[in-house]
Amino acid sequence: MIKPHGAEQLMPLYVADQQQREALQAQAESMPSKIVSSATATNAVMLAGGYFTPLTGYMNVADAMSVADTLHTADGVFWPVPVMNLLSDASGVVVGEQLALRDPNVSGNPVLAVMTVNAIETLSDDQINHIAEQVFGTLDGQHPGVAAFTGQGNIAVSGPIQVLNFSYFATDFPDTFRTAVQIRDEMATLGWEKVVAFQTRNPMHRAHEELCRMAMQDLQADGCLVHMLLGKLKAGDIPADVRDNAIRTMVDVYFEPNTVLVTGYGFDMLYAGPREAVLHAVFRQNCGCTHLIVGRDHAGVGDYYGAFDAQTIFDEKVPADALLIDIYRADHTAYSKKLDKVVMMKDAPDHSKDDFVLLSGTAVREMLGNGIAPPPEFSRPEVAKILMDYYRSL
């Protein structure tokens, strides 16, 4: 395994000592408090789990603007997207004092974290739009990431945090949610040193499955970390519990034991394409992985990004010494009728389009919604059944 990003050891901000945590929880009930955005809450969960090492809390405006423009904080820490606590109302918040952050995603809005307020700054509309355009490559309000970011408010409350729990992720996904600390521990127990990570917000079809297998074989990796996003998605995406069931079923049936870890992390999807691909690399380095698979339209949405922009950003904007993790670059993958297996299309120059089984996501969703199983070349029958049952229940 490789070292965490920017530190010798992970820096999880969860208050692990039970007595300290209970004492802080009690104190938090009498502090000024704010119900934060889902983005702020999931940032806290990621800070708690060590995924955001070496950050210690929420960025101020100077850091956020610097990250947007240069992929570095003002003091030079490489980071691809701003990590902010944006509020629409900061009444009662005082610089130098503590603020309890209440969870918008859990009934009753319990305290999720306590922050020490270092600064309260108001961003102009131009600053908000500048950050959004740099991170998402667009200001289109139809882009789900842009809409979520610009809808939080324009008051940045920055400072270090201490996190008291992992929101709904640990309770709703007890078998899947893992911190970066836990993932490193599990991989160490398995004796894994070279590990390839696969990021997903969708169920895994045959191409995804074979891509993980190809990467493990090409890299001679000890194992694969299948790491699924468990937070909020755009309308129409498959819910996390359905994805979890489908992925676990595929791994259990079609991979050798102890070669794949199925895990999840508590974060809302940004749909930031190239920038989010770099963030995914940081997460996986902090988990101890040596490689991250980056394929076509990684972390994209709609037609906002080029098919392989999430690969070229590592050549064009990520300094060679910024990260220790390497990128495994995947091309278009499809089932070859000629070879009777999934291949990268670039590796089959003698094929015509008719030699591949090609299905769009829209076509597959329509088939599933009509109770029709996609062809076995596209989806394992066990996975297709789980997805058909989900679509029938809608």
* Residue 333 predicted with pLDDT over 90: no
In angstroms, the CA 251 to CA 262 distance is 8
144 and 185 housed in the same domain:
no
344 and 295 housed in the same domain:
yes
Tell me, yes or no, whether 371 lies in a domain: yes
| Domain membership of residue 125 as a residue range | 18-167
User: Residue for token digits 């698979």?
Assistant: 293
Contacts of 342 (CB under 8 A, 6+ apart): 206, 207, 209, 210, 211, 333, 334, 335, 336
The residue among 119, 143, 167 that closes a domain is 167
73 and 199 housed in the same domain:
no
Tell me, yes or no, whether 13 lies in a domain: no
Is the peptide bond preceding residue 319 cis, with omega within 30 degrees of 0?
Answer: no
Tell me, yes or no, whether 240 lies in a domain: yes
Residues belonging to the active site: 201-202
158 and 249 housed in the same domain:
no
* Residue 350 predicted with pLDDT over 70: yes
* DSSP SS3 for 310: helix
* Residue 232 predicted with pLDDT over 90: no
Entry pTM: 0.93
CATH number at residue 115: 3.10.400.10
111 and 143 housed in the same domain:
yes
CATH number at residue 214: 3.40.50.620
328 and 371 housed in the same domain:
yes
158 and 181 housed in the same domain:
no
pLDDT in tens, 123-171: 999 999 999 999 999 999 999 999 999 999 999 999 999 999 999 999 9
Number of domains in the chain: 2
- Work out the pLDDT band at 362, boundaries 50, 70, 90: low
- DSSP H helical segments within 29-124, as ranges? 38-48, 61-70
Q: Tell me what pLDDT residue 364 has.
A: 76
pLDDT in tens, 45-64: 999 999 999 999 999 999 99
* Residue 234 predicted with pLDDT over 80: no
